[in-house]
Amino acid sequence: MPSTVTTVVVLIGLCLVLRLVSNRFKSGLRDIPGPSLARYTRLWKLHSVWKGDHHVTEIKLHRRYGPLVRIGPNHVSVGDPAAVGVIYGLNQGFTKTAFFPIQSISWEKKPQMNLFSTRDESFHRSQKRLVANAYSMTSLLEMEDSVDSCTGIFMDRLREFCDRKRPLDFGAWLQYYAFDVVGEVTFAKKLGFLEKGRDVDDTMKTIQGILAYASLCGQIPDAHPFLLGNPLFPIFIPSMESWNSVLQFTLKAISSRLALGSDQHEPTADRVEESLGKDMLSRWLALHQSDPDRLSKRDIIVHTSTNVFAGSDTTAIALRAIFYLLMRHPSVMEKVRDEIDTADSQGKLSDPIAYRESVAHFPYLAAVFKEAMRLHPSVGLILERQVPTGGVSILGRHIPGGTVVGINAWVLHRNPEVYPEPDAFIPERWLTSPPAALKAMEQSFFNFGAGSRTCIGKNISLMEMHKIVPQILRHFEVRLHSPAKEWKTRNVWFVQQEGLVCDLLPRTPT
C-alpha cells in the first residue's frame, strides 16, 4: 500500500492540477487571448515583472492579440481608450485591488492607508476633500518663490559642473531638485538633496526598495501578510518601522517645525499661528487645530510621507524623459531653444522663469512635455481595478465580477489609431492635429491616470517642468556625455532610468 506521505503528495498534485485547469477555463475569460502560461498561473506575470520590462512586453502582447489580453488567470489588460471611462469613470463600481495597500507606511504598529493605497472609496473621498485644495495650481503658485529658491541652488550647482568641465549624473540631480521642491511645498523646508548633492538618509534607496517589493509582491498580494505585511513583525520587531527612511525622514521634517511626534506634544494654537504659511503642512496643521477629528495627526503624517514617497520619483522620471528625448532629437531641441530665446530677447521672461510665463510663451515646449510623457509614462504596470459584482461589458465583451482589469499607459500611448507613428517623438502632433484627432489624443493621455483617482500631485510635476526645463536650456547647452550609449530603464512599478550622464556648456541666448 502506498505510504501516507505519497498519498498526500498525490492529492496535493491533483489539487494543483485541478486549480490550474480551473484557472485556464475560468468562465468569461477562457477565450480572451494572451500568453498560454498566463492563463494558468500568476507566475507568468510575476516573472515578466521581475525581468523589469513588463511595459515593453504588454505593448507587444496588445499588438499581437488586440485590445483585450489575458495576462493572468484573473487579470485582463485593456488597450483601448474607449474603456477608460468604463473602468475609471465616476460611479462605475470599480475599486482598487489588493495590489495597492502594499504601498502603505507602517506607523504605530499598523499599516496606514493613504489616498493612493486605500481601496475604500468613501475614505478616499473624505480625505481628498480635506487636502485637495493644497494641490491646486493656485495654491502651489502661492509658493512659487520657494520653488525659485530651489531653482537658484540647482542652477548654482550646475554652473559648478559647467565651470569645471565635469560630466554629471543629470538624472540624479533632477531627482535631487524634485525632492527639494517637494520639501518646500510640503514642509516649507528644503530636504537637503541639492545642498549635499547626494541621497539624503538613503531616502531614494528606500523608495527604490519599496517599489521593487510592491511591484513583485503586488502580483501575488495574498503573500504580503506573510512577508513585510506580517502583522506580527511590528509587535515582535518594534524597530522595523525605523527601517523605512521615508517615514523617518517625514517625521524628522515635521518635528523640525512642530512637536507633532507624540500625544504629549500636540500643536497649540499659538505654535500653529507662528508657523502658519502656504505650505501643505501649515495648511493641514491649521485644519487639525480647528478640528482634530476631521484631520488627525495620523492623516498629516500619512499625507506628507506620501508626498515624499511619490512626489520626486514620478517627476524626475518625466524630467529625465524630456531632456533625453530632446538630446536625441537635435532639431526639436533647436526649436525649443529658439522659442525660449525669442521670448527672452523680447523681455517676456523673469529670472528664474515664472510658471505663467512658461505656459504663455512656450507652446512648443509644452508639446514636448506632453510627447515625452506619452513616450515614457512614469508608471509601467496596469492601474488595476476590480470589476464590480455582476460583471460589466468592456469593449463589447462581458467581463465577470471580481476580475482584475486595467490599462497600462505605455500601451494606450502607443495606439496607432490615436497616435500615428506611435513610437516616434513628434511634439508637433499636439499642435497641428485636427481638432477631432487632438481630442482623441487628450482623452487617451494616461500619464496621470484617470477618474477620481487621478494623481493628486500632478500639478507639482507640471509646475516643475514648466519652470526648470526652460530655465536650464536658457543658460546651458546639455549634451549626452556618451551619445553612442543608450540609457537603461527598469520597470519596478515606476519605469526608472539610469545613465543620463551629461556635459554642460554655458550659452548666451541670442
Q: Which residues sit in the known binding site for heme?
A: 455
| Direct distance between the N- and C-terminal alpha carbons of the chain, in angstroms, rounded to an integer | 92
Dihedrals phi, psi of 505, to nearest 5 degrees: -125, 140
Q: What is d(CA 470, CA 344) in angstroms, rounded to the nearest whole number?
A: 11
| Residues forming a β-bridge with 498 | 488
Question: What's the Cα-to-Cα distance from 232 to each of 111, 227, 235, 236, rounded to whole Å?
Answer: 12, 10, 5, 6
Q: What is d(CA 211, CA 478) in angstroms, rounded to the nearest whole number?
A: 30
Could you count the other beta carbons within 10 Å of the beta carbon of residue 126? 11
Strand ranges in 29-118 using DSSP code E only, listed in sequence order: 68-72, 75-78, 105-107, 110-112
The cell for 398 is: 462581458
Q: Which residue has the cell 498534485?
A: 13
Using CA of residue 282, residue 285, residue 287, residue 289, what is the dihedral sign?
Answer: negative
Q: What is d(CA 157, CA 155) in angstroms, rounded to the nearest whole number?
A: 5
Question: Which residue in 249, 264, 256 sits closest to 297, CA to CA?
Answer: 264
Annotated binding site: 455
Q: Are 242 and 109 in contact (CB under 8 A)?
A: no
| Residues forming a β-bridge with 111 | 106
Exposure letters 435-458 (e unless 16+ CB within 10 A, then b): eeeeebbeebbbbbbbbebebbbb
Q: What is d(CA 315, CA 446) in angstroms, rounded to the nearest whole number?
A: 15
